[in-house]
């Protein structure tokens, strides 16, 4: 059973998250030839103050 862990900035609507997990599940099943019930997706919302790229906190970017 594939399990995906996805971290993303907080603030996305439940509808957008639902759309994402539906698309990921569909494509995973196509590629791996498995049933949707075998696919687990864990979404983790992260505050911008807890994420940095290139040595710069996202909460400090323009």
Is 14 among the residues known to form the active site?
no
Number of other CB atoms surrounding residue 52 within 10 Å:
13
Nearest to 42 by CA among 24, 30, 58, 27: 24
- Pick the catalytic residue: 1, 2, 3, 6? 2
Residue 26 C-beta-side C-alpha neighbours within 13 Å: 6
Active site (catalytic) residues: 2
């Amino acid at each position: 059973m594939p399990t995906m862990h996805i971290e993303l900035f907080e603030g996305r609507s439940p509808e957008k998250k639902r759309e994402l997990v539906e698309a990921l599940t569909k494509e995973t099943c196509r590629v791996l030839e498995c049933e949707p019930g075998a696919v687990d997706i864990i979404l983790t919302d992260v505050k911008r103050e807890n994420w940095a790229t290139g040595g710069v906190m996202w909460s400090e970017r323009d």
